[in-house]
Amino acid sequence: MTLTALVIDDSETLRAEILQILKEASLFDSYLEACDGLEGFKVLLNNRVDLVLCDLEMPRMDGFRFLAMMRAREEFQDVPVIILTGREDRDTKIRGLEQGASDYLTKPFDAGELVARVRVQLKVKSLQDELKRSNDMLRTLSITDPLTHLHNRRHLMEMVEKEFQRASRKGAHLSLIILDIDYFKKVNDTYGHQEGDRVLTILADIVRRRLRSYDLAARYGGEEFVLLLPETPVHEALPIAERLRLEVQEHIFDGSLQGQVITISLGVATYPSPRIESIDSLFRQADEALYRAKQSGRNRVELMAGVSPAKSEHSEV
């Protein structure tokens, strides 16, 4: 990964001196410069920067204002800023540190001290970035089903609650699809659990390809999956479910499952509806529709009770 430094100072001579020191120390791969805080902030907005060296006293926008604008933007929170100041007074340095500066240097400065302080800030940033990556990975693992790599049930319920509240507040549609693999126990009993797991992962891949960017899919338990479709009325959710059913039915398996046809049954429920007043009733309506699909011969899509039959005729196999 390349490292980039941004040097902000109204003195062209001092900028050139700082850049020369940094280049001789081979601390960065690329270097940017600006003559004041306003120009520096524009450079920051248009480039990925790993460390900023910024003068305090500059025309148009001084270092304090630059710091305030940086810290107001989340994407710049972790970018270290070393303040350069000609002032020796303690209050100025404290104010800079309190406004988000990572360190400061008093001008005129020693080249060796500048390099040492930059190295320290780069090391701190590297450790912070690594910690952030680890936390992001842990977060991903905590909300992901380890086999299918879809979301897990816990995360699904968190998102259902958020989307249900949003739909209630805005009067928007929210559709829920529960799907179940037909005769999955027979697959496990005949071909073994390893092949059963392969069926689950293939189904998860098909689901993932079919979903839109704002939809959510989760493994609900065993061979059961749930699809959460925000901003989706029933007449849009139904074809999504039907296309998914057909794609699973038409999938060609290899290996020991070669020649086998795996099918799924699906139940669809949509809020708002007179039959749905809560998350529990949303799940119950979808689950009852899934049960009817199973009872009606499997490999089919059924809608929640109360939906016009004209809208459900396309669900028949």
Can you give the residue ranges of every domain in the chain?
A: 4-142, 153-315
Tens-place pLDDT, residues 4-38: 999 999 999 999 999 999 999 999 999 999 999 99
- In this predicted structure, the answer to whether residue 315 has a pLDDT above a threshold of 60 is no
Q: Mean pLDDT, to the nearest integer, of 34-48?
A: 94
Distance CA 211, CA 115 (A): 51
Pick 312 or 45 by higher pLDDT. Answer: 45
% of the chain with per-residue pLDDT over 70: 97
% of the chain with per-residue pLDDT over 90: 76
Active-site residue identified among 163, 223, 242, 302: 223
Q: Mean pLDDT, to the nearest integer, of 152-166?
A: 96
Q: Tell me the whole-structure pTM to 2 decimals.
A: 0.68
Decide: residue 288, CB within 10 A, 0-12 exposed, 13-18 middle, 19+ buried: middle
Q: What is residue 309's predicted lDDT score, i.e. its pLDDT? A: 45
Bridge partners (DSSP) of residue 227 are 177, 217
Q: What is residue 308's predicted lDDT score, i.e. its pLDDT? A: 63
Is 130 one of the annotated active-site residues of the chain? no
User: How does residue 316 score in pLDDT terms, banded at 50, 70 and 90?
Assistant: very low
Cα torsion angle, 86, 87, 90, 95, sign: negative
Taking each helix axis from N to C end, the angle separating 12-24 and 111-142, rounded to the nearest 10 degrees, works out to 70
Indicate the fold that domain 4-142 takes in CATH: Rossmann fold (3.40.50)
Least confident of 42-46, 189-193, 283-287, 307-311: 307-311
**Superfamily of 153-315 according to CATH:** Reverse transcriptase/Diguanylate cyclase domain (3.30.70.270)
Tens-place pLDDT, residues 62-110: 888 999 999 899 899 899 999 988 777 777 778 777 888 899 888 888 9
Distance CA 224, CA 246 (A): 17
Bridge partners (DSSP) of residue 264 are 181
